Amino acid sequence: MKSQTLLKSVSLLSLLLMFSCFKDKKTEYASAEEIPVSREMIAELTAPPHVPAPVGKRKAKKLIVKMEILEEEGEITDGVRYVYWTFGGSVPGSFIRARVGDEIEFHLQNHPDNKLPHNIDLHAVNGPGGGAESSFVAPGHEKVFSFKVLNPGLYVYHCATAPVGMHIANGMYGLILIEPEGGLPPVDKEYYVMQGDFYTKGANGERGLQPFDMQKAVDERADYVVFNGKVGSLTGDGALTAKVGETVRLFVGNGGPGLVSSFHVIGEIFDKVYVEGGDLVNTNVQTTLIPAGGAAIVEFKVEVPGTFILVDHSIFRAFNKGALGMLKVEGEENKKIFSGELMDNIYIPEGPGIQTMPTTDEIKESDIPAKSFAEQMEFGKQIYGQTCIACHQSEGQGIAGAFPPLAKSDYLNADVDRAISAVLHGLSGEITVNGEKYNSIMTKQMISQEEVANVMTYVYNSWGNNKTVVTPAMVKKVSGK
């Protein structure tokens, strides 16, 4: 009897102690401020579109972030150079990944070759200026400050040195992800995409080194609206990739400084949107608004193969100013979800006339006529990126069933004058290209004869075509017919 009584007493005591431990633990972690850190670790930082490994279920740590500020020249689009101010040498800046309860020791280093002082305002910080007041750093110096991570979410960081808008407009922004305790649910692919608007003295596409234009920025008249710092950063070899059946998570930010983003993936529906990067989750979303200085997390499963286009759905920004990217999905087709083209019939209720764009009597000639084959190729690539890439794609592959390929095109290579005429005057009706029939309408292109010669030379000397060099005289001859 005594032994049974003693056993019951020990069991009761164990339960009380266990309950006490759970209660104490709950009290201990009542707020993120009270979560203890276990040890130091150096933060993994990544350049876009890549992100560091997920936090998972690791304990809170003292996280050492070392970020270098670099002022360096790069290309905003072909032939157009710009001096970017960067966090970590990329636009947007390096992606930072942490968890609630981490204590972040931030080292901001201003490279000695830089010309200006800078600082950093992290929207994930609870403190004056988001760290800006503690991080103002001159070239050749380093500032260190620390903060406790209290709130989960996806947050923007940016430079806040006066004039603040100018520093942001030159590329000084990025994202910091604070995962909840236990981490985010696992997915197959994660990518980092951030929109920004740029303001240059020259017009869109004007070649050479372009300085920042403060008046355009104040008026919010952006020359370029781009993903990840430049036109075409997420196309061609830079396109995002996935396989059929995979889940994709995009960490999408908007550095601004001036424009709101209407983020959309053509051909996909967002299964989940973490609105403004916070706890609120919307489902089955087509397009999500991301304010300047804000972010969102979008997730979706890719069901069929193909190229899916990322855009700011303020659509002229996508097709005319650069806010366009690609997600290339490989895998088996699923005809139950998407059949592809089933039928191609002629339907012309308004007559057979070719659609044309409104025009004026004056078309401005290229300011810098090409003087060599190399210049024609350079200028032609630029025009192609501005006017042709959306339909015919970055490597001339076209879009099956809709827009014919320009790569290894028997239609183009058979008759140069006919190809020039299609650019000058438009084209409609059925044609056959590389054995496939197409019956769409191409409107005439509002570009100068010099630009037609350049872009046609670029096309003919790319992707396995016959290397014809098209001159302005050839274009003029076809134009007069």
Residues of each annotated binding site for Cu cation: 118, 123, 158-159, 167, 172, 313
Residue 178 CA: distances (Å) to CA of 127, 142, 293? 16, 24, 16
**Which parts are annotated binding residues?**
118, 123, 158-159, 167, 172, 313
**Both tokens of residue 443?**
């409107």
Rounded Cα distance, 402 and 387, in Å: 17
**What is the distance between the alpha carbons of residues 450 and 75, in angstroms, rounded to a whole number?**
23
